[in-house]
Structure 1
Amino acid sequence: MNAEAPVRSEGDHWLTVVRHRFRDWRGNRPFWAGLLIVFGGFPIAYFPYADLRLGNVTLAMATTAGAGSLIIGVLLMTLGFTLWFQQNMRVFAGVASILLGLVSLPVSNLGGFFIGFLFSLLGGALALSWAPGKPAEADGSDEADGSDEPKEGAVVDKGDALADGPYLAVPGPRGTETTYATETTAHADGGRNSAG
């Protein structure tokens, strides 16, 4: 059991339980990258088909590349949802969303007036930089047994190993070194004999 996991009792409100489950789900995937890419797809697909009415005047942003804008917008939204449900596709989805965002500049009204372009680029960069977390070991950690010594075969941080030495951050001799002064160490010490 994870010591940092929140303890849920029977009296927890269902909204609290849903919020905790959503937070756990969100933490195991590039959620924010997918959300930004989905948000980037909306203005790219919407603006070529939208019209603005000001009294009797209708302003339309429709261009000859309206179908291209729709395709780019739908593809970006699909890539955003792919990041949520297929985390192993994050590199492909990140690169594809960056490329589609760049293609949307000339095709779709300057990338949805730069809104969709910026969201898709930022989301693609977040998708490329996201890395899955390492799962916690099921058998427990070193702190669980109460000892300060690492287990057999465990990776020890060099800073932690040096902090236990007699001169904080000065390591002692390694297994292949000797503690007596040789001619080489005497020259490195400036001619002083450190052993005697």
Structure 2
Amino acid sequence: MTTSHTEPQDLLPRPATPGPSRRRAATRRARPTGPLGRAWRWFRAFRRSRPFWGGVWLTLGGWMILRLTLAPVQTAVTTGFNGIAGWLVGGGMILCGLIPWAAPSQRYTFGVIGTILAVVSLVTSNMGGFLLGMLFGVVGGTLMVAWGKKKPNRGRPVARTGR
């Protein structure tokens, strides 16, 4: 009588792994068509070709500083520079966040200016929008400075042999 020896791991069921074509088909999503699909593709291309997230954070920080200035424009104008400084710094941060969307080549200049304005807001307007506006502005400015255009994928690098 012949008995075959089986290992314990041979008795466990093996998960079925889909082949490469199934794997690609499973990860591929249906692309929306029509006006909504075209709008989404435009927005995606816009977002990838500009310092989008840096601009969002810097604009949000400027809005928070502008909103948390806690003084109406009439009061700010009558009190002089101390009253209007929060409006100027917040508005400047919003502009520094929006301009690089129109001119991505100017991202470095406006990222640095926006970061400086965010730090200056600590002194000029309610501790930089209660620190939150300043934090958003600094993060947005540094994201804008660090942004670079996405390089096209040239395929997989070929493994070299040492011959």
TM-score (norm 1): 0.58
- 4+ residue segments displaced more than 3 Å: 6-9
What is the one-letter code of the residue matched to 1:128? V
Question: CA offset at residue 50 of structure 1?
Answer: 4.7
Does 1:22 find its partner at 2:43?
yes
- The residue that corresponds to 1:39 in the other structure is 60
- The residue that corresponds to 1:76 in the other structure is 93
Higher relative contact order (CA 8 A, sep 6+): 2
Give structure 1 stretches of 5+ with no counterpart: 1-5, 52-61, 144-155, 166-170, 173-196
In the TM superposition, 1:7-156 aligns within 5 A as 12-50=33-71, 65-134=82-151
What is the one-letter code of the residue matched to 2:135? L
What is the one-letter code of the residue matched to 1:71? L
The alignment partner of 2:150 has SS state of coil
Cα distance per residue 1:62-113 (max 9 Å; x no partner): 9972211111011111111112111011111111111111100011100011
Greater per-residue strand proportion: 1
What is the one-letter code of the residue matched to 2:55? G
What is the one-letter code of the residue matched to 1:19? W
| Residues matched between the structures, number | 129
Between the aligned residues of both structures, percent identity stands at 31
Greater CA radius of gyration, 1 or 2? Answer: 1
* Contact 2:31 2:37 survives alignment (8 Å): no
* Contact 2:61 2:93 survives alignment (8 Å): yes
Give structure 2 stretches of 5+ with no counterpart: 1-28, 73-78
- The residue that corresponds to 1:186 in the other structure is none
TM-score (norm 2): 0.69
Task: Please give the root-mean-square deviation of Cα atoms over the aligned residues, in Å.
Answer: 2.7
